[in-house]
């Protein structure tokens, strides 16, 4: 099943640079996945083998659960879903109504730095997606 979001070339190039920058500038980060809100992988960058398609679907479930739990708990606007494991972190956030960003790091990372870098990348991606020539929203 193919998704309807196309990545215009200018946005794709910008996004690839943004993802690469996140990996290069964040200690411990080894993967990042840009996906649609309903779990289709659009772009990814990784230092290891990362099953981007499966991860995109799983992080879609995570984001939807995070937002639902926040609502049930009478809280507003889920910002991050953070999975802390014995040897690393998975952080996921919604960029826009249709896009999510997930980053993966070992436990040699600083969680605060990882969250900050992921948020900065998501803001840059959101800005790039809103450029007049872009259709990815």
Partner 1 sequence: MSEIKLIFTGPAGAGKTTAIAAISEIPPVRTDVDATDDLLAVKEQTTAALDFGEITLDDGSKVRLYGTPGQSRFAHMWPILVQGGLGLVILLDNTRPSPVEDLAEYLDGFADFIAETGAVIGLTRADHPGGTTIDELHHYLEQRGEHHPVLTADVREEADVLMLLNVLLSLLETR
Judged by the rule CB under 8 A, the positions of this chain that interact with partner 1 are 1-5, 36-40, 53-54, 57-58, 60-65, 67-68, 72, 97-98
Q: How far apart are the first and last CA of the chain?
A: 19
CB count within 10 Å of CB 42 equals 20
Closest separation between CB of residue 64 and partner 1, Å?
Answer: 4
Phi and psi, residue 44, nearest 5°: -150, 160
Smallest gap from Cβ 116 to partner 1, in A, equals 26
Instruction: Tell me which residue of 126, 48, 34 sits closest to 87, measured CA to CA.
Output: 48
What's the rounded Cα separation, in Å, for the pair 126 and 54? Answer: 23
Q: Give the residue with the Cβ less far from partner 1, 80 or 110.
A: 80
- Least distance in angstroms from the C-beta of 60 to partner 1: 5
Which sign does the torsion angle of CA 74, 112, 107, 101 carry?
Answer: positive
Minimum distance of partner 1 from residue 98's CB (angstroms):
6
What whole-number distance in Å separates Cα of residue 38 and Cα of residue 97? Answer: 10
Task: Give 64 or 110: the residue with its C-beta nearer to partner 1.
Answer: 64
Closer Cβ to partner 1, 26 or 59, answer by number: 59
Q: Which is nearer to partner 1, 23 or 55 (CB)?
A: 55
């Amino acid at each position: 099943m193919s998704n309807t979001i196309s990545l215009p070339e200018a946005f794709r190039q910008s996004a690839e640079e943004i993802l690469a920058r996140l990996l290069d500038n964040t200690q411990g980060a080894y993967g990042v996945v840009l996906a649609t809100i309903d779990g289709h992988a659009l772009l990814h960058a990784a230092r290891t083998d990362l099953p981007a398609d499966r991860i995109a679907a799983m992080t879609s479930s995570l984001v939807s659960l995070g937002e639902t739990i926040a609502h049930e708990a009478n809280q507003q606007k889920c910002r991050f879903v953070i999975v802390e494991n014995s040897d690393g972190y998975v952080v996921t956030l919604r960029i826009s109504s249709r896009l999510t960003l997930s980053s993966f790091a070992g436990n040699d990372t600083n969680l605060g730095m990882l969250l900050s870098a992921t948020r900065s990348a998501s803001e840059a991606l959101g800005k790039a997606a809103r450029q007049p020539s872009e259709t990815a929203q």
